[in-house]
Structure 1
Amino acid sequence: MATPAQPRTTPDLARVTETLELLAPRWSVWALMTISSKPLRYAEIKPRLPWLHDGQLHPRLRHLTDAGVVERTEYAPRHVTYGVTSRGAELLPVLASIAAWGDTYLEKGLVRNKKTGEMEPEQLPAAQHIEDALALIVPRHATAILWSLKARGGASAKTLAAEAMPGYGLTAVYKPLDRLVADGLVTASGAGNFQLSASGQGLAPVFQAVSAWAAGRPLAEAGAHPVWGQDLAPSQVRSGPWASTPTRLPAPTEPLAPAESSVGSALAATVPGRPAWKGGDLFSHQIPARPISPAGGPRR
């Protein structure tokens, strides 16, 4: 029996899209994670994000404050702190889900282990995994298309245009579809049908967590999502991270100062079986611009 069509617009999908757009502006996740453990003054945040100028950091903090996940407390004209609100604290496990997906499914470069001399996948900060993952699923119509494909198991471009992009012509769906295929989240068959790849199917925990947070539900109930709550078949689970391209990060000459405030154990505790992130993990690499990666899997 064919899967019934999903409503063109649902409150759940709208809330998820809005939440992802909240996190999407570049460096916003880094700013949020920096103050996740305790409130900090601007002068304390700035050294932890040294690549951001004043004109870049202030807008991120203001954006997160306006969204209700960061609280700005003014004790005196020159004594202002930024800390996460209760809603911001509830968002941290959601970030853990996104980081886990990025660590598992996004391609990684190979770096040489200085001790063993062996080539191994580079270790990236959790915040980098999150921002790279968001760059793939936040572009307009991407989430709606992924949603429809998950609900149907597969669909034609015509069906996706009608369900995910109502009000647009058929040709408008090909640009976001081509991007999702190039990014490795969707596969295309010779018959003109599209379906989620293993990496696209792997987004289930991400959308479950985002949906629960956006609706104000406990994350313990996230697995019961009507669309993304289905378990993955063994063949749809990737066995390891992508590690087929040269390193995209230069080896830092000097490591950046470790952050006193990071998600650390708060994130790791929400991902059973994953190693705990240490305080320095968030700031262990220089931050490059995102390169265009070869085809073959989800790219950064």
Structure 2
Amino acid sequence: MATTGLPPAADADIARVTEALHMITPRWNVRILLALNEPPQRYTQIAAKLPYLHSGQLHPKIRSLCDAGLALRSEYSARHVTYGLTQRGRQLLAVLPVIAAWAEEHLEKPEQPLSAIEQVEDCLTLLTRRQAPAILWVLKARQEASARALARIVIPDSYWTNIYPPLRQLINDGLVATAGLGQPYRLSPSGDGLGHVFGALSMWAAGRPVDHAARHPLWGRPDPSANTAPRTWVSHQSRLAPSAPPTAAVQTQPARRPAWHNGDLFSHATPVRPKAALPAGGARR
């Protein structure tokens, strides 16, 4: 995986999150993980829950999840083989409601309501764009940056104009905003709202509890009960302009409740063959 120009800790964090995204983003992987979230099952039992997948599609995907350490194959005899989730796989499932909640709030509402799983799949499609996590990470850390500055950090070993295609895609997806040509780039409200998602993925990838996402050093949310009184001014005070305090509207705006419940993600009723995923980007983003 390409190394960015970020500090080693941040670079490793992005690499772990990117790897986690690539484990679950391939088509059907989320559905297969949910189908495996039961006591160990035989292959035929799993296939019955995913009737729209042929054996030639399902078996390689289960094998890839086993290789990734998310699923476990147990062979008792030549005719008795079961599959189930590892502890890491079960821990990863806790991230899915966080992803679905972000999609419910920030993605454009289609004419027909989408299931929570489809919301998760659409969000994952955006986050696995080329260079997307690194660009979003840098903009979160720096608040805004020029294309050249972004390229110097995100793709230090490549020509700097190569940053424009992924930047344009993130703008089309509604995660990055700019005032116009030559103006700096910054996170949109939707991009900034990914804090819970990136925080949860980072905690999982680092082997820490997912519910500690609010403690992430970059994407976390400060504890409102903590003492926020300004520190004493010192002679080497930072020359960076202080960030603007949040407006009253942001502080008092009630949180939007999703139309689904966490348990909806883990229902194993046999579904009909899902429609093709909505094209990523465009009007829906």
TM-score by length of 2: 0.79
Distance apart, 1:214 and its partner CA? 0.6
Flag the 1:108–1:281 CA change in 2: closer, same or farther, 3 A: farther
Which of 182, 201, 206 is matched with 2:197 structurally?
206
Flag the 1:143–1:6 CA change in 2: closer, same or farther, 3 A: same
Which of 154, 157, 163 is matched with 1:167 structurally?
157
Question: CA contact under 8 A between 1:99 and 1:130: conserved in structure 2?
Answer: yes
Q: Which residue of 2 aligns with 1:62?
A: 63
Distance apart, 1:186 and its partner CA? 0.9
Q: Which residue of 2 aligns with 1:45?
A: 46
Q: Which residue of 1 aligns with 2:88?
A: 87
Distance apart, 1:6 and its partner CA? 4.2
RMSD of aligned Cα (Å): 2.8
Structure showing greater radius of gyration is 2
Q: Which residue of 1 aligns with 2:239?
A: none
Give deviations 1:47-87, integer Å, cap 9, x for gaps.
Answer: 21111111111111011100111011112212211101111
Question: CA contact under 8 A between 1:198 and 1:238: conserved in structure 2?
Answer: no
Flag the 1:218–1:294 CA change in 2: closer, same or farther, 3 A: closer
Give SS of 1:154's match. coil
Q: Which residue of 2 aligns with 1:125?
A: 115
Distance apart, 1:283 and its partner CA? 5.7
The 5 Å alignment of 1:1-300 reads: 6-7=6-7, 10-111=11-112, 122=113, 124-190=114-180, 191-230=182-221, 233=246, 235=250, 275-278=261-264, 280=267, 286-292=273-279, 295-296=282-283, 298=285
Give deviations 1:188-226, integer Å, cap 9, x for gaps.
Answer: 212421111111111101110110111111224321111
In terms of fraction of residues, the more strand-rich structure is 1
Judge which range, 36-45 or 224-233, deviates more: 224-233
Counterpart residue type for residue 263 of structure 2: W
Equivalenced residue count is 253
Question: Could you tell me how far apart the structure 2 residues matched to 1:179 and 1:287 are?
Answer: 26
Counterpart residue type for residue 289 of structure 1: A
Question: Could you tell me how far apart the structure 1 residues matched to 2:275 and 2:269 are?
Answer: 14
Distance apart, 1:277 and its partner CA? 2.9
Flag the 1:125–1:297 CA change in 2: closer, same or farther, 3 A: closer
Question: Could you tell me how far apart the structure 2 residues matched to 1:136 and 1:230 are?
Answer: 23
Distance apart, 1:108 and its partner CA? 2.5
Q: Which residue of 2 aligns with 1:255?
A: none
Question: CA contact under 8 A between 2:73 and 2:82: conserved in structure 1?
Answer: yes
Question: CA contact under 8 A between 1:149 and 1:194: conserved in structure 2?
Answer: yes
TM-score by length of 1: 0.76
List runs of 5+ in structure 1 lacking aligned partners: 112-121, 242-270
Distance apart, 1:126 and its partner CA? 2.4
List runs of 5+ in structure 2 lacking aligned partners: 223-244
